[in-house]
Structure 1
Amino acid sequence: MSLDAFIMGISFILIHLFANKLIPSKRIHRLKWFSFSGGLAVSYVFVYVLPTLHKEQILVKKYGDYFTMESELYFIGLIGVLIFYGIQKIVRKAQLNNKTKKARTLFWLQIGFFGIYNMLVAYTVISHDVLGIQAIFYGLAVGLHFVAVAHDLWREYADIYDKVGRYVLALGIIAGWILGVLVTLSPLIESIIFAFISGAMILNVLKYELPPDDEAHFITFAIGVISYTTITMSLKFFFQW
């Protein structure tokens, strides 16, 4: 495991343990923070996740008869969207119906799935051995994404999240970290894992990480999109990411 991946893993763990300490308390600062974070996340989806998913789809064609179309991995990404959207929809419906006990029980299900999500993200980071400047920009985007997800879960049930939930999410990072170090999966399985978490990440970014219209600070959002996209595309051009 590289030093870069080690630092990212530690950072992701600390983010889940102390995410709400990182978010400004004043409303206008908080709105600007989430707008900038959302801008980075959207940029990350379009300049890294989708192109990488396309590249992985091209690579899996060499596995013969199993992949004869040009959309199998996109279908797996769609399954990721479907599963995470369904879980969050069920939890929020229970909350709206004021079924407190049921909603809290289902919230544990949501925490569990995000623990698995974190494990798969951490495994992908370690197994792909992201290095150098690429690790910095990858870690920045994913780290801010984790902060937004953690804050969203905290807002639903702060007591559950603070007492147990954040530790479950942090353990997911550790589990993925260990798997990445000890287990070597085939390139095909790694492509499938990447496709699945890509679908889940795209859903979380576009539906839950972007601030609502009445809470968005568009200029800050645009700065996040333009700055991250410009720097990342420039680095891709010069360093052939």
Structure 2
Amino acid sequence: MTGPVAATLAMALGFVAVHVFVGRLTFLDVVPRSRWLSFAGGVAVGYVFLHIMPELGAHAAAFSAGTGYATPVAEAAVYTLALAGLVLFYGAERAIIVSRGMRRAKEGRDRPERGMFRLHIGASALLIFVIAYLLNHREDATVPGLALYFVAMALHFITADYGVRCHHPELYDRQGRWILAAATLAGWGAGVAVALPQVAIGGLFAFIGGAIVLVVLKEELPEERKSYFLPFVGGAVLYAILAAGELYLVA
């Protein structure tokens, strides 16, 4: 196994650990919302805007070259995929919230219907598969670049998995975490075995960018979350400092 592949496997196993053990992070289960979750959300959003969004410009150029479309059309197509990621996960989240409210009203149980668990885990597994696939297909394959990707995505998974587990605690602990762990390893394996064209890689980056923004903001914005602004900003600022440090090292 080559060095970079071994490194990305170690990162994938780190992601697996988050999925499997997030339920044991008892310090997250507090009211008001844990400051650590707000901090993790800030880091993930910082990654989207300081890494994924700038990279979309490069991928739009590759899309233009690969398809022959004019640059404005190529850019619009790439950002449409980011919008699609946001809309898809917004739709899934709304369906789960509606189902939870209807079941609470009818049965007095504060849980979504079982079918909503499959929808939630399926959407999460799709996103996780893509993120793990991209471990081996980063535009910035340097050690600092991979490290920043790993840290940002691991913190994003803490936020996202915590949100899934809040909706389906028993099902997540019994089944969901293992499905997400399997999706991680499958995505990493696919990344090693299959190299997609740069046009497709750009589309995947755009898709996860939109999805991550939605997942983080839906965890931070609702009033009942009682989330924290300063830790969120702190996470974003810290990530910005780390990203600036990476640029300095590369330069």
SS in 2 for 1:185: coil
Tell me if 1:182 matches 2:196. Answer: no
Matched length: 240
Partner residue in 1 for 2:48: 45
Structure 2 counterpart of 1:74, from 79, 102, 116: 79
Tell me if 1:113 matches 2:116. Answer: no
SS in 2 for 1:184: coil
Tell me if 1:21 matches 2:24. Answer: yes
User: CA separation in 2, counterparts of 1:147 and 1:23?
Assistant: 12
User: CA separation in 2, counterparts of 1:25 and 1:115?
Assistant: 22
Partner residue in 1 for 2:58: 55
* 1:98-123 deviation line (CA, Å, top 9, x unaligned): 16697221221110121111111111
User: CA separation in 2, counterparts of 1:4 and 1:211?
Assistant: 37
Change over 3 Å in CA distance of 1:209–1:145 after alignment to 2: farther
User: CA separation in 1, counterparts of 2:151 and 2:39?
Assistant: 12
Verify the 8 A CA contact 1:145 1:209 in the aligned structure 2: no
Give 1:182 deviation, angstroms. Answer: 0.9
Structure 2 counterpart of 1:135, from 146, 156, 174: 146
Verify the 8 A CA contact 1:60 1:67 in the aligned structure 2: no
User: CA separation in 2, counterparts of 1:102 and 1:25?
Assistant: 21
Give 1:41 deviation, angstroms. Answer: 1.7
Query: Which amino acid in the other structure matches residue 12 of structure 2?
Result: G
Give 1:226 deviation, angstroms. Answer: 1.6
Change over 3 Å in CA distance of 1:54–1:17 after alignment to 2: same
* 1:37-93 deviation line (CA, Å, top 9, x unaligned): 122122112111211122211221112434651311101111111211111111111
Partner residue in 2 for 1:92: 97
Tell me if 1:171 matches 2:182. Answer: yes
Tell me if 1:162 matches 2:173. Answer: yes
Give 1:167 deviation, angstroms. Answer: 0.7
Q: Percent of aligned pairs with the same residue?
A: 30
User: CA separation in 2, counterparts of 1:117 and 1:146?
Assistant: 10
Q: Which runs of 5+ in 1 are unaligned?
A: none
Q: Tell me how large the CA RMSD over aligned residues is.
A: 2.4
Change over 3 Å in CA distance of 1:207–1:190 after alignment to 2: same
Change over 3 Å in CA distance of 1:80–1:170 after alignment to 2: same
User: CA separation in 1, counterparts of 2:23 and 2:48?
Assistant: 24
Partner residue in 1 for 2:10: 7
Give 1:208 deviation, angstroms. Answer: 2.4
Verify the 8 A CA contact 2:112 2:167 in the aligned structure 1: no
User: CA separation in 2, counterparts of 1:82 and 1:214?
Assistant: 21
Q: Which runs of 5+ in 2 are unaligned?
A: none
SS in 1 for 2:212: helix
User: CA separation in 1, counterparts of 2:117 and 2:31?
Assistant: 29
Partner residue in 2 for 1:31: 34
TM-score (norm 1): 0.89
Give 1:177 deviation, angstroms. Answer: 0.9
Tell me if 1:104 matches 2:114. Answer: yes
User: CA separation in 1, counterparts of 2:9 and 2:222?
Assistant: 31
SS in 2 for 1:97: helix
Change over 3 Å in CA distance of 1:130–1:208 after alignment to 2: farther
